[in-house]
């Protein structure tokens, strides 16, 4: 069986080993507790990259 993953509880601001809280209150899964603690930072960086890819792919239509 695979290694258990970490999740970040957006309500409590705490990491959780395994999906303990309801899905609408958590982000993840993450491979480590440290990654779960950096969930907001990871989300911001992913969004920034996706927005940049969208601009390059479709051009600015604004």
Predicted TM-score (pTM) of this structure: 0.75
3-state helix, strand, coil split of the chain in percent (to 5) is 45, 20, 35
Strand order across the beta sheet in which 6-9 lies: 14-17, 6-9, 26-30
pLDDT in tens, 5-30: 999 999 999 999 999 999 999 999 99
Tokens of residue 35, six digits: 């990654």
Domain boundaries, the chain: 6-57
Supply the pLDDT for residue 58: 84
d(CA 31, CA 25): 18
Which secondary-structure segment (H or E) carries 9? strand 6-9
């Amino acid at each position: 069986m695979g290694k258990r993953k970490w999740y970040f509880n957006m309500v409590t601001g705490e990491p959780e080993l395994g999906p303990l809280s309801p899905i609408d209150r958590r982000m993840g899964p993450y491979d480590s507790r440290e990654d779960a603690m950096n969930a907001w930072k990871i989300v911001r960086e992913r969004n920034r990259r996706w927005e940049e890819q969208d601009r390059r792919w479709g051009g600015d239509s604004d």
